């Protein structure tokens, strides 16, 4: 995995921010997103753009949450007092297992 892309860069790209679009053009290949990112992007998407945003997200490999992720994330939350989404993202960023497709 090249990068675990955050929702901020994806949302900015969807909103036409040139720096985000350039970053994705240069770095999307080999990068992944997580189920947390999917949730954050789609939660802020207007109903009229939902299917376009889903297709946009479908181009990336997607890291999901399983029991290993849940337990590791819980340990990080307890140790660092992180929010749930942040602890899941950190766990997934360090996970060496291959990602699945988001579809």
pLDDT tens-digit map of 2-24: 899 999 999 999 999 999 999 99
Residue 100 has pLDDT above 70, yes or no: no
Query: Do residues 45 and 53 lie in contact, with contact meaning Cβ atoms separated by under 8 Å?
Result: yes
* pLDDT (tens digit per residue) in 59-96: 999 999 999 999 999 999 999 999 999 999 999 999 87
Tokens of 73: 């994330």
pTM for this predicted structure = 0.87
Evaluated on CA atoms 68, 81, 32, 48, the torsion sign reads positive
């Amino acid at each position: 995995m090249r990068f675990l892309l955050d929702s901020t860069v994806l949302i900015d790209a969807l909103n036409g921010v040139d720096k985000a679009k350039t970053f994705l053009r240069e770095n999307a290949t080999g990068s992944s997103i997580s189920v947390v990112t999917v949730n954050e992007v789609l939660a802020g998407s207007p109903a009229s753009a939902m299917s376009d945003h889903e297709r946009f997200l479908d181009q990336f490999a997607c890291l999901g949450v399983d029991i290993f992720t849940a337990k590791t994330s819980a340990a990080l939350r307890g140790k660092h007092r992180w929010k749930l989404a942040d602890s899941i993202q950190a766990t997934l960023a360090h996970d060496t297992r291959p990602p699945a497709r988001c579809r």
